[in-house]
Amino acid sequence: MTTSARTPLGVTLVDGGANVALFSSTAERVEFCTFDDDGTEHRTELQHRTGYTFHDIVPGVAVGTRYGFRVHGAWDPAKGLRHNGSKILLDPYATAVDGSYEWGQALFGHDMDDPETRDDTDSAAAMPKSVVADRSFDWGDDVRPATPLGDTVFYEVHVKGFTKQHPDVPEAIRGTYAGMAHPAAIQHLVDLGVTAVELLPTHQFVQDSTLADKGLRNYWGYNSIGFFAPHDEYSSSGTAGQQVAEFKEMVKALHAAGLEVIMDVVYNHTAEGNHMGPTLSFKGIDNESYYRLVEGDEGNYFDTTGTGNSLNVSHPAALGLIMDSLRYWVEEMHVDGFRFDLATTLTRQGGEAEKHSAFLDIIHQDPVLREVKMIAEPWDTAGYQVGGFPADWSEWNGKYRDDLRAFWRGDEGALGDAVQRVLGSPDVYEGSRRSPLCSVDFVTAHDGFTLADLTSYAEKHNEANGEDNNDGESDNTSFNGGVEGPTDDGGVNAYRDRQRRNFLGTLLLSAGVPMILGGDEIARSQGGNNNAYCQDDEISWFDWDAADQDLLAFTTAAIAFRAQHRSLRPEWYRTAPGDSDSTVSVLRADNAGFEDGDWADGGNRAVMLVLEQGDDTVAVLLNASDTTVEFTLPEKPGGGTWRLGLSSDPQQQVAGDAATVLVRDASFSALY
């Protein structure tokens, strides 16, 4: 007879049933509850306890079994204890979740009118259930693309929004993992030339009541509740575990096309919120182990995420959960890396962000995780930490976004910072002996304007979010001359189009690792909404019929130009001319070197960068001024004539023997 074990946690199928194991250092007893299709519940108390893990062999459990836990123990919120056996709790290690929430008193461990008082309303009928999924899968000849970071181009995209309105994807699978895996969807990515899709959250998340009450939905998914389960709403094949195989099929198809899969993961908090939030899983299992409580006031939650709670990464149980989840997605689901939302929170053990925190150290040592791409969003609500992560991590470089916007907006004094960004932000990374590949460069991302809207709206328009346009960052960009929305003025439209090419082109000419917001290449608009987290509709979905084919062609050409020139993809910072085969020259438009006074001149908005890597040379001419600038070209290293490779000005020409090039206002040209 099979003997139960405390590991692995969760539900593991064995002959005749399953080994069930749940960690709780504060529970008195634990019941494993299975549910028939009609909702009939069957309870089995876990009889064994090893350390802080309750475990047992439960007969009759099989693929498709729907289940949850009832965890009994003390109710004393002031001491951080929130056990309530009347509440069904999701398994933290469940690989699939099925069902929806019926919001009301039943989902809250406390009386909604008195948070100190326990509520004993049974939540079984109002809760989704964990599901035992079939974890077998034929990966065939699946091979990870393993694209070198220096050759990587990220494409940040939403699984649903990408194909929900795609005319060449069958309607039955639009907006799903299967839709993402459809040849028509993949062909767009391959033709564009990106190398990796960075998927907005696909961990199981919660559709919260505050949005539902407004007739809205959580679209982005930064509201996780299941760190092992692919979100069920993106499954076309069923939600009783079928979502696991469909996710794997998506990964397999993307790999076959040479595309890596990066997951945007939200380990910094969960959907259970603060002391007024629902009891769905961790809060009722072991509140003080999984969440960081306010010292001396354990009835409240320490919050550096702006969501009500923060995971307690200083505790082995919470840290172990994160590590087990990461390994699961790499080993079993074959993903190629992770982007960590509000990653700075995960480095806070005693309050301050720590470069050598347990979270970072354990990933560095892990033989599975150290082989995949790790990307930090290097800030949270309590601090900004760009440049503060270890050398083997990349970071979303918010300074790149801010400084390139300032430059192309024509701000005085922005030139010096913009040059640093284009060269891979050596002022941020080189001092700690990190490389340009630590910088994930971007000008737009999911949380803000799309590129089309950045260049079309002077103010945000978030009225559809139901907060009187008070949500989202106030971002008066003025990249459009102050004119809002569509216009028949050819001059304004031409300027907008040029600015869009400026941003995408500069991004792809910069050292570092570029990230394109999905849809920017076709001028996807959200109607000026720069905080579309709750818009699961046409505001957020790709409008393929309105795709800007000219911008798509330009972006495709810019990605190809980057791939063709290794001088645009340095793995280390460049040196002075003559010191090695990797050099950079920063020159004024008159081909003279910059002097201190030139940088101090706030009106100077033009620069020429001559980038060399071995026998490859590219000259990047940037002009953010409001007049045409004449650039005097240097001699091309190795001889020969300069040729035009890429320009944001469709009228730009370069004669084969030209000694000078005219670059019009607000535009760039790249020569090789």
CA angle 27, 28, 34 (to 5 degrees): 80
Q: Cβ neighbours of residue 509 under 8 Å, at least 6 residues apart? A: 422, 558, 561, 562, 568, 618, 620, 646, 668, 670
Report residue 569's pLDDT band, with 50, 70 and 90 as the boundaries: very high
Residue 533 scores a pLDDT above 60 = yes
Instruction: Quick: pLDDT tens for 315-346.
Output: 999 999 999 999 999 999 999 999 999 998 88
The residue with tokens 């918010």 is: 398
Predicted pLDDT of residue 122: 98
Q: Count how many Cα atoms sit within 13 Å of the Cα of residue 192 in the half-sphere of its side chain.
A: 29
Contact 161, 226 (CB under 8 A): no
271, 275, 291, 295, 309 from 78: Cα distances, Å: 21, 10, 14, 11, 16
In degrees and rounded to multiples of 5, residue 59 shows phi and psi of -70, 155
Residue of 107, 97, 85, 103 lying closest to 129 (CA atoms):
97
Report residue 666's pLDDT band, with 50, 70 and 90 as the boundaries: very high
Q: What is the DSSP letter of 32?
A: E
Tell me the catalytic residues: 341, 377
Sign of the torsion angle spanned by Cα atoms 642, 643, 647, 651: positive
CA angle 457, 459, 461 (to 5 degrees): 90
Mean pLDDT of 222-249: 98
Q: Cβ of 489: how many Cβ atoms within 10 Å? A: 12
Residue 55 scores a pLDDT above 50 = yes
Report residue 350's pLDDT band, with 50, 70 and 90 as the boundaries: low
Predicted pLDDT of residue 485: 54
Terminal alpha carbon distance of the chain? 72
Predicted pLDDT of residue 156: 98
Predicted pLDDT of residue 481: 52
The residue with tokens 């608009």 is: 525
Contact 110, 116 (CB under 8 A): yes
Mean pLDDT of 224-230: 98
- Min mean pLDDT across 256-265, 351-360, 483-492 is at 483-492
92, 226, 339, 360 from 200: Cα distances, Å: 21, 15, 9, 22
- The pairing of strands 17-23 and 10-14 is antiparallel
Mean pLDDT of 599-626: 93
Instruction: Quick: pLDDT tens for 241-259.
Output: 999 999 999 999 999 999 9
Instruction: Quick: pLDDT tens for 507-530.
Output: 999 999 999 999 999 999 999 999
Predicted pLDDT of residue 577: 46
Mean pLDDT of 180-187: 98
The residue with tokens 């960068």 is: 609
Q: Cβ of 663: how many Cβ atoms within 10 Å? A: 23
Predicted pLDDT of residue 578: 47
- The pairing of strands 606-613 and 582-587 is antiparallel
The residue with tokens 């989840």 is: 325
- Cα 240 to Cα 95: distance, rounded to the nearest angstrom: 10
The residue with tokens 């002075």 is: 576
Instruction: Quick: pLDDT tens for 614-661.
Output: 999 999 999 999 999 999 999 998 889 999 999 999 999 998 888 999
Q: Where are the beta strands (DSSP E) in 133-205?
A: 154-157, 196-199, 203-205
Q: Cβ of 146: how many Cβ atoms within 10 Å? A: 10
> What is the separation of C-alpha 539 from the centre of its chain, rounded to a whole number of angstroms?
20
Residue 484 scores a pLDDT above 70 = no
Domains of the chain from N-terminus onward: 10-131 (2.60.40.10), 149-567 (3.20.20.80), 576-671 (2.60.40.1180)
Predicted pLDDT of residue 245: 98
Mean pLDDT across the chain: 94
Residue 353 scores a pLDDT above 80 = no
- Cα 506 to Cα 492: distance, rounded to the nearest angstrom: 21
The residue with tokens 């800007």 is: 548
- Min mean pLDDT across 138-142, 279-283, 594-598 is at 594-598
Report residue 278's pLDDT band, with 50, 70 and 90 as the boundaries: very high
Predicted pLDDT of residue 480: 62
Predicted pLDDT of residue 602: 78
Residue 451 scores a pLDDT above 80 = yes
- Cα 218 to Cα 227: distance, rounded to the nearest angstrom: 17
Residue 489 scores a pLDDT above 80 = no
**Cα dihedral: 289, 295, 300, 301 (round 10):** -60
Q: Is the peptide bond before 8 cis (omega within 30 degrees of 0)?
A: yes
- Cα 186 to Cα 191: distance, rounded to the nearest angstrom: 9
Contact 155, 198 (CB under 8 A): yes
